[in-house]
Amino acid sequence: MTSYDVAIIGLGAMGSAAAYHLAKRGVSVIGFDRFTPPHTMGSSHGDTRIIREAYHESPAYVPIVQRAYELWDELAEEAGETLLRQTGGVMLGPPEGETVSGAILSAELYGLVHEVLDADEIRKRWSQFDPPDHFAAVYEERSGVLFPEKCISAHLEGASKGGADLRYGTQVSDWEKDGDGVTVHTNCGDARAAKLLITAGAWLPGLVSELSLPIEVARQVSFWFEPAANPGVFDADRCPIYIWEYELGRAFYGFPNLGGGIKIAHHHEGRVVDPDSLDREMVTDEDEQMLRSPLSRMMPDAVGRVIRSGVCMYTNTPDQHYAIGFHPENPSVLIASPCSGHGFKMSSALGESFAELLLDGESRYDLSPFALDRLLT
Protein backbone atom coordinates (compact mmCIF):
# COMPACT_ATOMS: atom_id res chain seq x y z
CA MET A 1 0.00 0.00 0.00
CA THR A 2 1.46 3.35 -1.07
CA SER A 3 1.95 5.86 1.74
CA TYR A 4 1.43 9.61 1.36
CA ASP A 5 2.25 12.66 3.41
CA VAL A 6 -1.37 13.91 3.39
CA ALA A 7 -4.72 12.40 2.43
CA ILE A 8 -7.74 14.60 1.76
CA ILE A 9 -11.37 13.52 1.93
CA GLY A 10 -13.52 15.85 -0.17
CA LEU A 11 -12.21 17.90 -3.11
CA GLY A 12 -14.72 20.72 -3.29
CA ALA A 13 -13.90 24.34 -2.48
CA MET A 14 -11.74 23.65 0.58
CA GLY A 15 -10.26 20.29 -0.37
CA SER A 16 -9.22 21.37 -3.85
CA ALA A 17 -7.51 24.48 -2.47
CA ALA A 18 -5.71 22.46 0.20
CA ALA A 19 -4.54 19.91 -2.37
CA TYR A 20 -3.18 22.75 -4.49
CA HIS A 21 -1.24 24.39 -1.67
CA LEU A 22 0.08 21.10 -0.28
CA ALA A 23 1.29 20.04 -3.72
CA LYS A 24 2.98 23.43 -4.17
CA ARG A 25 4.92 22.74 -1.00
CA GLY A 26 6.25 19.51 -2.47
CA VAL A 27 4.55 16.96 -0.24
CA SER A 28 2.85 13.82 -1.55
CA VAL A 29 -0.92 14.17 -1.57
CA ILE A 30 -3.78 11.81 -2.27
CA GLY A 31 -7.31 13.21 -2.51
CA PHE A 32 -10.68 11.48 -2.70
CA ASP A 33 -14.08 12.67 -3.87
CA ARG A 34 -17.15 10.50 -4.29
CA PHE A 35 -18.11 12.53 -7.37
CA THR A 36 -16.05 14.28 -10.07
CA PRO A 37 -15.52 17.89 -9.07
CA PRO A 38 -16.61 20.45 -9.90
CA HIS A 39 -20.05 18.85 -9.56
CA THR A 40 -23.60 19.77 -8.57
CA MET A 41 -24.00 17.42 -5.62
CA GLY A 42 -22.54 19.54 -2.82
CA SER A 43 -22.12 23.19 -1.89
CA SER A 44 -19.77 24.63 -4.51
CA HIS A 45 -21.75 25.01 -7.72
CA GLY A 46 -24.25 27.39 -9.27
CA ASP A 47 -22.04 29.61 -11.48
CA THR A 48 -21.31 32.39 -8.98
CA ARG A 49 -20.26 33.15 -5.41
CA ILE A 50 -19.89 36.50 -3.66
CA ILE A 51 -16.55 37.81 -2.43
CA ARG A 52 -16.58 40.79 -0.04
CA GLU A 53 -14.18 42.37 2.40
CA ALA A 54 -16.23 44.35 4.96
CA TYR A 55 -17.32 41.13 6.58
CA HIS A 56 -20.46 41.58 8.63
CA GLU A 57 -20.34 38.13 10.24
CA SER A 58 -17.20 39.03 12.22
CA PRO A 59 -14.05 41.13 11.75
CA ALA A 60 -12.09 37.92 12.40
CA TYR A 61 -12.65 36.93 8.78
CA VAL A 62 -11.20 40.09 7.22
CA PRO A 63 -7.50 39.09 7.16
CA ILE A 64 -8.43 35.75 5.63
CA VAL A 65 -10.53 37.24 2.84
CA GLN A 66 -7.84 39.83 2.13
CA ARG A 67 -5.35 37.03 1.54
CA ALA A 68 -7.98 35.19 -0.52
CA TYR A 69 -8.13 38.11 -2.96
CA GLU A 70 -4.37 37.84 -3.50
CA LEU A 71 -4.48 34.08 -4.01
CA TRP A 72 -7.44 34.18 -6.42
CA ASP A 73 -5.49 36.66 -8.56
CA GLU A 74 -2.40 34.43 -8.49
CA LEU A 75 -4.43 31.34 -9.37
CA ALA A 76 -6.21 33.15 -12.22
CA GLU A 77 -2.89 34.18 -13.72
CA GLU A 78 -1.51 30.68 -13.41
CA ALA A 79 -4.61 29.07 -14.88
CA GLY A 80 -5.17 31.67 -17.59
CA GLU A 81 -8.79 32.04 -16.48
CA THR A 82 -11.00 34.83 -15.19
CA LEU A 83 -11.91 33.61 -11.70
CA LEU A 84 -13.06 36.87 -10.11
CA ARG A 85 -14.98 39.84 -11.48
CA GLN A 86 -15.13 43.00 -9.41
CA THR A 87 -18.61 44.57 -9.44
CA GLY A 88 -18.72 46.40 -6.14
CA GLY A 89 -21.02 45.25 -3.40
CA VAL A 90 -23.82 46.73 -1.34
CA MET A 91 -25.08 45.38 2.00
CA LEU A 92 -28.55 46.71 2.85
CA GLY A 93 -30.86 46.53 5.83
CA PRO A 94 -31.98 48.18 9.04
CA PRO A 95 -29.09 50.17 10.52
CA GLU A 96 -29.24 48.08 13.70
CA GLY A 97 -29.19 44.80 11.78
CA GLU A 98 -26.11 42.59 11.59
CA THR A 99 -25.59 43.12 7.87
CA VAL A 100 -25.12 46.88 8.02
CA SER A 101 -23.74 47.32 11.53
CA GLY A 102 -21.40 44.33 11.17
CA ALA A 103 -20.05 45.52 7.81
CA ILE A 104 -19.37 48.97 9.26
CA LEU A 105 -17.58 47.43 12.25
CA SER A 106 -15.26 45.35 10.04
CA ALA A 107 -14.63 48.25 7.68
CA GLU A 108 -13.75 50.65 10.48
CA LEU A 109 -11.54 48.19 12.37
CA TYR A 110 -9.47 47.44 9.27
CA GLY A 111 -9.61 50.83 7.60
CA LEU A 112 -11.43 49.49 4.56
CA VAL A 113 -12.63 51.89 1.90
CA HIS A 114 -16.41 52.01 2.14
CA GLU A 115 -19.45 54.29 2.02
CA VAL A 116 -22.48 54.34 4.30
CA LEU A 117 -25.63 55.38 2.44
CA ASP A 118 -29.21 56.18 3.45
CA ALA A 119 -32.27 54.99 1.56
CA ASP A 120 -32.51 58.06 -0.71
CA GLU A 121 -28.85 57.72 -1.70
CA ILE A 122 -29.34 54.03 -2.42
CA ARG A 123 -32.26 54.70 -4.77
CA LYS A 124 -30.41 57.49 -6.59
CA ARG A 125 -27.37 55.33 -7.20
CA TRP A 126 -29.15 52.06 -8.05
CA SER A 127 -32.66 52.44 -9.44
CA GLN A 128 -33.15 48.67 -9.26
CA PHE A 129 -33.15 48.85 -5.43
CA ASP A 130 -36.16 50.22 -3.51
CA PRO A 131 -35.37 49.98 0.21
CA PRO A 132 -37.71 51.11 2.99
CA ASP A 133 -37.03 54.65 4.13
CA HIS A 134 -35.33 53.59 7.36
CA PHE A 135 -32.83 51.26 5.63
CA ALA A 136 -29.14 51.99 5.23
CA ALA A 137 -26.40 50.37 3.18
CA VAL A 138 -22.66 49.82 3.14
CA TYR A 139 -20.98 49.95 -0.25
CA GLU A 140 -17.47 48.69 -1.02
CA GLU A 141 -15.81 48.71 -4.42
CA ARG A 142 -13.73 45.55 -3.95
CA SER A 143 -16.71 43.19 -3.71
CA GLY A 144 -17.46 41.01 -6.66
CA VAL A 145 -18.18 37.61 -8.13
CA LEU A 146 -16.18 34.38 -8.05
CA PHE A 147 -16.86 31.62 -10.58
CA PRO A 148 -16.80 28.50 -8.37
CA GLU A 149 -16.59 25.76 -10.97
CA LYS A 150 -13.65 27.48 -12.63
CA CYS A 151 -11.98 28.09 -9.27
CA ILE A 152 -12.22 24.44 -8.23
CA SER A 153 -11.04 23.24 -11.62
CA ALA A 154 -8.04 25.58 -11.46
CA HIS A 155 -7.08 24.38 -7.98
CA LEU A 156 -7.41 20.72 -8.97
CA GLU A 157 -5.46 21.18 -12.19
CA GLY A 158 -2.71 22.96 -10.29
CA ALA A 159 -2.66 20.24 -7.63
CA SER A 160 -2.44 17.52 -10.27
CA LYS A 161 0.39 19.31 -12.05
CA GLY A 162 2.15 19.49 -8.68
CA GLY A 163 1.96 15.72 -8.35
CA ALA A 164 -1.21 15.21 -6.30
CA ASP A 165 -2.96 11.86 -6.80
CA LEU A 166 -6.62 12.85 -7.17
CA ARG A 167 -9.15 10.04 -7.19
CA TYR A 168 -12.63 10.95 -8.33
CA GLY A 169 -15.69 8.70 -8.11
CA THR A 170 -14.15 7.21 -4.98
CA GLN A 171 -16.26 6.97 -1.85
CA VAL A 172 -14.57 6.90 1.54
CA SER A 173 -16.26 4.52 3.95
CA ASP A 174 -14.15 5.36 7.00
CA TRP A 175 -10.63 5.97 8.28
CA GLU A 176 -8.66 4.70 11.23
CA LYS A 177 -5.55 5.50 13.19
CA ASP A 178 -2.57 3.52 11.87
CA GLY A 179 0.55 3.94 13.97
CA ASP A 180 1.63 7.56 13.68
CA GLY A 181 -0.67 8.10 10.69
CA VAL A 182 -4.03 7.03 9.31
CA THR A 183 -5.45 4.54 6.83
CA VAL A 184 -8.34 5.67 4.65
CA HIS A 185 -10.75 2.97 3.46
CA THR A 186 -12.55 3.50 0.15
CA ASN A 187 -14.61 1.51 -2.33
CA CYS A 188 -11.49 1.41 -4.53
CA GLY A 189 -8.99 0.25 -1.95
CA ASP A 190 -7.10 1.67 1.01
CA ALA A 191 -4.46 4.38 1.31
CA ARG A 192 -2.15 5.28 4.15
CA ALA A 193 -0.99 8.81 5.01
CA ALA A 194 0.91 10.55 7.77
CA LYS A 195 -1.82 13.23 8.01
CA LEU A 196 -5.49 13.39 7.07
CA LEU A 197 -7.55 16.44 6.13
CA ILE A 198 -11.33 16.04 6.18
CA THR A 199 -13.07 18.68 4.03
CA ALA A 200 -16.17 16.68 3.22
CA GLY A 201 -18.75 19.39 3.83
CA ALA A 202 -22.21 17.90 4.21
CA TRP A 203 -20.72 14.42 4.56
CA LEU A 204 -18.47 15.36 7.50
CA PRO A 205 -20.76 14.08 10.29
CA GLY A 206 -20.62 10.52 9.00
CA LEU A 207 -16.82 10.57 8.92
CA VAL A 208 -16.43 11.72 12.53
CA SER A 209 -19.58 10.30 14.07
CA GLU A 210 -17.73 9.63 17.33
CA LEU A 211 -17.58 13.40 17.94
CA SER A 212 -21.36 13.95 17.73
CA LEU A 213 -20.80 17.39 16.21
CA PRO A 214 -23.89 19.65 16.35
CA ILE A 215 -23.96 20.18 12.61
CA GLU A 216 -27.02 20.49 10.40
CA VAL A 217 -27.15 20.21 6.61
CA ALA A 218 -29.71 22.54 5.05
CA ARG A 219 -31.23 22.57 1.59
CA GLN A 220 -30.78 25.90 -0.19
CA VAL A 221 -32.47 26.96 -3.42
CA SER A 222 -31.22 29.52 -5.94
CA PHE A 223 -33.30 31.11 -8.70
CA TRP A 224 -32.27 32.80 -11.94
CA PHE A 225 -34.91 35.39 -12.88
CA GLU A 226 -35.56 37.16 -16.14
CA PRO A 227 -35.91 40.90 -15.34
CA ALA A 228 -39.52 42.02 -15.23
CA ALA A 229 -38.57 45.53 -16.36
CA ASN A 230 -35.54 47.73 -17.07
CA PRO A 231 -33.18 44.83 -17.77
CA GLY A 232 -30.18 47.08 -18.43
CA VAL A 233 -29.91 48.16 -14.78
CA PHE A 234 -29.06 44.58 -13.81
CA ASP A 235 -26.03 44.33 -16.09
CA ALA A 236 -22.72 43.85 -14.30
CA ASP A 237 -21.44 47.32 -15.15
CA ARG A 238 -24.50 48.89 -13.50
CA CYS A 239 -25.37 46.46 -10.71
CA PRO A 240 -23.24 45.38 -7.74
CA ILE A 241 -23.58 42.16 -5.81
CA TYR A 242 -26.02 42.68 -2.94
CA ILE A 243 -27.06 41.28 0.41
CA TRP A 244 -30.43 42.40 1.76
CA GLU A 245 -31.31 41.91 5.42
CA TYR A 246 -34.94 42.58 4.59
CA GLU A 247 -36.07 41.77 8.13
CA LEU A 248 -33.87 41.48 11.19
CA GLY A 249 -32.10 38.13 10.92
CA ARG A 250 -33.54 37.28 7.48
CA ALA A 251 -31.62 37.91 4.27
CA PHE A 252 -31.38 37.20 0.57
CA TYR A 253 -28.39 37.80 -1.67
CA GLY A 254 -27.88 38.14 -5.37
CA PHE A 255 -25.81 39.03 -8.39
CA PRO A 256 -25.98 41.16 -11.51
CA ASN A 257 -27.11 39.53 -14.71
CA LEU A 258 -24.00 37.92 -16.16
CA GLY A 259 -25.86 36.55 -19.17
CA GLY A 260 -28.02 33.80 -17.71
CA GLY A 261 -30.47 35.80 -15.62
CA ILE A 262 -30.45 37.45 -12.21
CA LYS A 263 -29.38 34.87 -9.63
CA ILE A 264 -30.94 35.42 -6.18
CA ALA A 265 -31.27 33.14 -3.14
CA HIS A 266 -32.17 33.19 0.50
CA HIS A 267 -29.26 33.04 2.92
CA HIS A 268 -30.14 30.19 5.32
CA GLU A 269 -33.78 29.27 6.13
CA GLY A 270 -33.48 25.98 4.25
CA ARG A 271 -34.90 22.81 5.75
CA VAL A 272 -32.62 20.21 7.33
CA VAL A 273 -31.80 17.33 4.96
CA ASP A 274 -29.68 14.23 4.50
CA PRO A 275 -27.15 14.82 1.69
CA ASP A 276 -27.56 11.25 0.45
CA SER A 277 -31.33 11.49 0.03
CA LEU A 278 -31.76 15.15 -0.94
CA ASP A 279 -33.84 15.71 -4.08
CA ARG A 280 -31.66 18.13 -6.01
CA GLU A 281 -34.15 18.54 -8.85
CA MET A 282 -37.46 19.30 -7.14
CA VAL A 283 -38.01 23.02 -6.53
CA THR A 284 -41.49 23.96 -5.31
CA ASP A 285 -43.84 26.89 -5.77
CA GLU A 286 -43.39 27.51 -2.04
CA ASP A 287 -39.64 27.90 -2.56
CA GLU A 288 -40.28 30.47 -5.26
CA GLN A 289 -42.94 32.44 -3.42
CA MET A 290 -40.81 32.61 -0.28
CA LEU A 291 -38.24 34.55 -2.30
CA ARG A 292 -40.62 36.52 -4.51
CA SER A 293 -42.34 38.06 -1.48
CA PRO A 294 -39.42 40.24 -0.26
CA LEU A 295 -38.11 40.74 -3.80
CA SER A 296 -41.41 42.17 -5.02
CA ARG A 297 -41.11 44.88 -2.37
CA MET A 298 -37.42 45.74 -2.64
CA MET A 299 -36.33 44.73 -6.15
CA PRO A 300 -39.59 44.58 -8.12
CA ASP A 301 -37.98 44.92 -11.55
CA ALA A 302 -35.90 41.79 -10.93
CA VAL A 303 -38.65 39.24 -10.52
CA GLY A 304 -39.88 38.22 -13.92
CA ARG A 305 -40.23 34.62 -14.99
CA VAL A 306 -37.92 31.99 -13.57
CA ILE A 307 -35.31 30.92 -16.11
CA ARG A 308 -33.94 28.12 -13.97
CA SER A 309 -33.40 27.05 -10.38
CA GLY A 310 -30.95 24.90 -8.48
CA VAL A 311 -30.41 23.20 -5.14
CA CYS A 312 -27.27 23.12 -3.03
CA MET A 313 -26.49 22.63 0.66
CA TYR A 314 -25.25 24.66 3.60
CA THR A 315 -23.43 22.71 6.32
CA ASN A 316 -24.19 24.77 9.42
CA THR A 317 -22.72 25.08 12.87
CA PRO A 318 -24.99 26.45 15.64
CA ASP A 319 -23.29 29.87 15.59
CA GLN A 320 -22.81 29.84 11.79
CA HIS A 321 -19.04 30.26 12.07
CA TYR A 322 -16.45 27.92 10.58
CA ALA A 323 -15.25 24.77 12.34
CA ILE A 324 -11.50 24.15 12.07
CA GLY A 325 -9.35 22.02 14.33
CA PHE A 326 -7.50 18.78 14.92
CA HIS A 327 -9.42 15.69 15.99
CA PRO A 328 -9.37 15.61 19.81
CA GLU A 329 -8.32 11.96 19.83
CA ASN A 330 -6.00 11.99 16.81
CA PRO A 331 -3.67 14.96 16.22
CA SER A 332 -2.88 13.62 12.73
CA VAL A 333 -6.41 14.45 11.56
CA LEU A 334 -7.47 18.01 10.71
CA ILE A 335 -11.20 18.67 10.44
CA ALA A 336 -11.97 21.71 8.31
CA SER A 337 -15.45 21.73 6.98
CA PRO A 338 -18.70 23.36 7.99
CA CYS A 339 -18.65 26.87 6.57
CA SER A 340 -22.34 27.65 7.16
CA GLY A 341 -22.93 28.99 3.68
CA HIS A 342 -20.24 31.66 3.53
CA GLY A 343 -16.97 29.83 2.99
CA PHE A 344 -16.27 29.69 -0.72
CA LYS A 345 -14.77 33.17 -1.04
CA MET A 346 -12.05 32.29 1.47
CA SER A 347 -11.28 28.80 0.23
CA SER A 348 -8.10 29.87 -1.54
CA ALA A 349 -6.68 31.30 1.70
CA LEU A 350 -8.07 28.57 3.94
CA GLY A 351 -6.55 25.87 1.73
CA GLU A 352 -3.19 27.57 2.24
CA SER A 353 -3.89 27.75 5.97
CA PHE A 354 -4.77 24.05 6.20
CA ALA A 355 -1.48 23.20 4.53
CA GLU A 356 0.29 25.32 7.16
CA LEU A 357 -1.54 23.61 10.02
CA LEU A 358 -0.74 20.14 8.70
CA LEU A 359 2.91 20.80 7.83
CA ASP A 360 3.97 23.56 10.25
CA GLY A 361 1.55 23.09 13.14
CA GLU A 362 0.22 26.64 12.98
CA SER A 363 -1.59 29.03 10.65
CA ARG A 364 -0.69 32.59 9.76
CA TYR A 365 -4.21 33.59 10.87
CA ASP A 366 -5.87 33.64 14.26
CA LEU A 367 -8.30 30.77 13.80
CA SER A 368 -9.33 30.58 17.46
CA PRO A 369 -12.82 32.05 16.78
CA PHE A 370 -13.46 28.98 14.59
CA ALA A 371 -12.01 26.35 16.92
CA LEU A 372 -13.55 22.92 16.63
CA ASP A 373 -13.38 22.58 20.40
CA ARG A 374 -16.31 24.93 20.91
CA LEU A 375 -18.61 22.39 19.26
CA LEU A 376 -17.51 19.39 21.31
CA THR A 377 -19.62 18.35 24.29
For the domain made up of 89-141+216-316, the CATH class stated in words is: alpha beta
**Other CB atoms within 10 Å distance of the CB of residue 281:** 8
Which pLDDT score, from 0 to 100, does residue 135 have? Answer: 98
pTM: 0.98
Task: Give the chain's mean pLDDT.
Answer: 97
Give percent above pLDDT 70 in the chain: 100
How far apart (Å, rounded) are the C-alpha atoms in residues 40 and 244?
Answer: 26
Which pLDDT score, from 0 to 100, does residue 338 have? Answer: 80
Q: For the chain, what are the domain ranges?
A: 3-44+149-209+320-375, 89-141+216-316
Q: Secondary structure of 87-121 in the HEC alphabet? A: CCEEEEECCCCHHHHHHHHHHHHHCCCCEEEEHHH
Summarize pLDDT for 166-189 with one digit per residue, the tens. Answer: 999 999 999 999 999 999 999 999
Which residues form the catalytic set?
45, 48-49, 263, 267, 312, 345
- Residue 215 · residue 338 · CB < 8 Å: yes
Average the pLDDT over 114-118 and give the result.
Answer: 98
Which pLDDT score, from 0 to 100, does residue 257 have? Answer: 98
Tell me which CATH code domain 3-44+149-209+320-375 carries: 3.50.50.60
How far apart (Å, rounded) are the C-alpha atoms in residues 287 and 95?
Answer: 28
